Amino acid sequence: MGNLRDILDAAARGVFPPLDGRTTVVPQPSRRDAGVLSFTAHSVVFTDEDPRWVHETLRAADCDALAASMSPRFLTALLDRTGRVAETIDALVVGSPLPGTPSLALTEIEDRDHPRVVSSRRRRDEVRVWAAEGGVVVLGRGVAGRLEVAVEVEEDVRHRGTGRALAAAARHLGGGEPVWAQISPGNARSTRAFQAAGYRPVGAEALLTVRQDRGVAAARATVPGSDRSPGR
């Protein structure tokens, strides 16, 4: 199936790994990012750990093969072995590019010390942030160099379609590329906003990141093509 970027690009086109209940292990796309992707009846573990260890640990998870890669037992073992941290298992969605300009009036934030820029640069490269009335939209290069979006909506303008409009704007701003988003399944507001903006569910993702005390800069040193600016 190629490398992780090949798998993601195919999924964005609607072409998924085989429905065979297996797990594919591919190398990490960068030192910063490792993790697990769960598609329908197929999982992908992206890690530089020995694939034999991965498959042995999956078998030891003592659960259905289709669920093993996202089971607490396997993820805990992978976190312990790699010394990484993880926040949650996200729903992974993708939006096809849209032509033209966004319907929202947007102003790009050029200040790299702006709090939203700084927080986004911890996990993504080439971060750009636009402000709109009532919120912001963030684009940056995340896992395997895919283009990822995050949006924020101010509390006093919620329930007015602002989140949906911001998510849709990202599809115009992506320069002709698919735009990816990771959403906590419990965040119903965000889930509904992205669905309304035309994003399609692809699978689930558990992202394992380098501990902050080990230094993000060191983790990023081997990111091919990175602008060396801190990420998401």
**36 plus 47 within the same structural domain:** yes
- Whole-number pLDDT of residue 156: 73
Specify if 65 maps to a domain.
yes
**136 plus 162 within the same structural domain:** yes
Q: 3-class SS at 84? A: coil
Specify if 212 maps to a domain.
no
Instruction: Tell me the CATH number at 125.
Output: 3.40.630.30
Task: Give the burial class of 83: count Cβ atoms within 10 A of its Cβ; 0-12 exposed, 13-18 middle, 19 or more buried.
Answer: exposed
Q: Could you give the CA distance from residue 50 to residue 175 in angstroms, rounded to a whole number?
A: 37
Among 58, 74, 91, which residue terminates a domain? Answer: 91
Question: How many domains is the chain partitioned into structurally?
Answer: 2
Among 91, 106, 133, which residue terminates a domain? Answer: 91
Specify if 75 maps to a domain.
yes
pLDDT tens for each residue of the chain, 232 residues long: 789 999 999 999 999 999 999 999 999 999 999 999 999 999 999 999 999 999 999 999 988 989 999 999 999 999 999 999 999 999 999 999 999 999 889 999 887 777 777 777 778 999 999 999 989 999 999 999 999 999 998 877 777 789 999 999 999 999 999 999 999 999 999 999 999 999 999 999 999 999 876 544 443 333 333 332 223 3
**153 plus 74 within the same structural domain:** no
**87 plus 106 within the same structural domain:** no
Specify if 222 maps to a domain.
no
**77 plus 108 within the same structural domain:** no
Specify if 83 maps to a domain.
yes
Burial letters 146-177, b for 16+ CB under 10 A, else e: bbbbbbebeeeeeeeebbbbbbbbbbbbbeee
**192 plus 107 within the same structural domain:** yes
Q: Where are the beta strands (DSSP E) in the chain?
A: 22-26, 33-39, 42-46, 89-95, 107-108, 125-132, 135-141, 147-153, 179-183, 200-209
Phi-psi category of 144—alpha, beta or left, where left has phi over 0 and alpha has psi -120 to 50? left
Specify if 161 maps to a domain.
yes
**87 plus 97 within the same structural domain:** no
Domain extent, residue 112, equals: 93-200
Specify if 142 maps to a domain.
yes
- CA distances to 67, 68, 114, 123 from 62, in Å: 10, 8, 47, 33
Specify if 189 maps to a domain.
yes
What is the chain's length? 232
**99 plus 66 within the same structural domain:** no
Number of neighbouring beta carbons within 10 Å of residue 52: 9
Number of neighbouring beta carbons within 10 Å of residue 87: 11
- Whole-number pLDDT of residue 230: 27
Q: With beta carbons less than 8 A apart as the criterion, state whether 1 and 7 touch.
A: yes
**162 plus 64 within the same structural domain:** no
**114 plus 69 within the same structural domain:** no
- Whole-number pLDDT of residue 214: 54
Q: pTM for this one?
A: 0.86
